[in-house]
Amino acid sequence: AQSVTQLGSHVSVSEGALVLLRCNYSSSVPPYLFWYVQYPNQGLQLLLKYTTGATLVKGINGFEAEFKKSETSFHLTKPSAHMSDAAEYFCAVSHVYNQGGKLIFGQGTELSVKP
């Protein structure tokens, strides 16, 4: 069975500081991993995804994530936080290429950005 754990339900950073949102997964087959962002009362927007190939994945809005198989992790980072980054972030895993299969979501991490 697959599962996702996001460490820290709430992360607060200052504007311009490094953003680090943690995600660990459990999967018995090669995983496909995703990060989504959700703004209040809205749906989900894909930030980035890992399927195969390069383990460092770059996404939109300056975010990137690195797939580390040995650590079963897929942490999300951004070098410099912006006020507009304040939102809820979800890590997800699937066992089907791209997002064709069911997505299993982590609990979510709320990111706050202080001026």
Partner 1 sequence: GAVVSQHPSRVICKSGTSVKIECRSLDFQATTMFWYRQFPKQSLMLMATSNEGSKATYEQGVEKDKFLINHASLTLSTLTVTSAHPEDSSFYICSARRLLDNEQFFGPGTRLTVL
Q: Give the residues lining the site for partner 1 (CB under 8 A).
A: 36, 41-45, 90, 96-100, 102-108, 110
- What would the two tokens of residue 20 be? 């680090």
**Angstrom distance (rounded) from CA 86 to CA 8:** 15
Cβ-Cβ contacts under 8 Å for 58 (sequence gap 6 or more): 48, 64
The two tokens of residue 36 are: 């989504």
Closer of 17 and 51 to partner 1 (Cβ) = 51
We find the least distance from the C-beta atom of residue 89 to partner 1, in angstroms, to be 11
Q: Shortest distance, CB of residue 46 to partner 1, whole angstroms?
A: 8
In the complex with partner 1, the residue whose CB is nearer, 43 or 115, is 43
Q: Which is nearer to partner 1, 16 or 39 (CB)?
A: 39
Give the tokens for residue 103.
């997505």
Q: Give the residue with the Cβ less far from partner 1, 17 or 88.
A: 88
Q: How far apart are CA 104 and CA 28, in angstroms?
A: 14
Minimum distance from residue 104 beta carbon to partner 1 (Å): 8
For 2, the token pair is 């697959």
Least spacing, CB of residue 79 vs partner 1, in Å: 26
